[in-house]
């Protein structure tokens, strides 16, 4: 068990980043789905914080594959440019229109189902 809250957050962030690295190219997942998989049912906001810190991870984290529960690119402001998140998704074949992933239900990757 971590000895202090900072260490606990760091470990949770690392766990989030590990899950995001497993999201296949061309698929997306949500903050809430990751939180649920990690046993933090109401931890979607903490997953968001972990995604904001993804650029500090030792290994690449495909943060563009994490969107909100409605398929919206709510994290796009944390990328280098306002269109970088959409461009990264479209480069993987994920269509985005008006900041929303199209055909969201078929592109959704649920770690609880996929990773058991």
DSSP 3: S
Measured between alpha carbons, how far is 62 from 107 in angstroms, rounded to an integer?
15
For residue 78, what pLDDT is reported?
A: 93
- Classify residue 56: in a domain, yes or no: yes
**Would 47 be classed as within a structural domain?**
yes
Residue 24 Rama label (left phi>0; alpha psi -120 to 50; beta): beta
Tell me 83's DSSP state: T
pLDDT in tens, 17-33: 999 999 999 999 999 99
What confidence score (pLDDT) does residue 8 get?
53
Mean of pLDDT over the chain: 92
Please check whether residue 79 lies inside any domain of the structure: yes
pTM assigned to the model:
0.89
Domains held by the chain: number: 1
Is 111 part of any domain? Answer: no
Q: What pLDDT digit, counting tens, does each position of 39-61 carry?
A: 988 899 999 999 999 998 999 99
pLDDT of residue 21: 98
Q: Which of 8-12, 59-63, 70-74, 111-115 has the lowest mean pLDDT?
A: 8-12
Judged against a pLDDT cut of 80, whether residue 66 lies above it is answered with yes
Selection from 64, 65, 69 nearest residue 83 by Cα: 64
List the domain range (segments joined by +) for residue 12.
5-106
Half-sphere exposure of 88 (CA within 13 A, CB side): 20
Distance of CA 11 to the CA centre of its chain: 16
For position 32, which CATH number holds?
1.10.10.10
Instruction: Tell me if 68 is assigned to some domain.
Output: yes
Quick check: is 18 in a domain?
A: yes
Q: What is the mean pLDDT of residues 93-108?
A: 97
């Amino acid at each position: 068990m971590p000895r202090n809250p900072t260490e606990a957050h760091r470990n949770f962030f690392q766990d989030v980043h590990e899950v995001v690295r497993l999201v296949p190219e061309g698929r997306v997942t949500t903050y809430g789905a990751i939180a649920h998989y990690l046993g933090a049912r109401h931890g979607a906001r903490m997953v968001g914080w972990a995604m904001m810190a993804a650029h500090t991870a030792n290994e690449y984290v495909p943060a563009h594959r994490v969107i909100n529960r409605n398929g919206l690119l709510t994290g796009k402001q944390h990328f280098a440019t306002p269109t970088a998140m959409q461009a990264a998704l479209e480069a993987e074949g994920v269509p985005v229109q008006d900041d929303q992933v199209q055909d969201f239900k078929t592109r959704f990757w649920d770690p609880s189902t996929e990773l058991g």
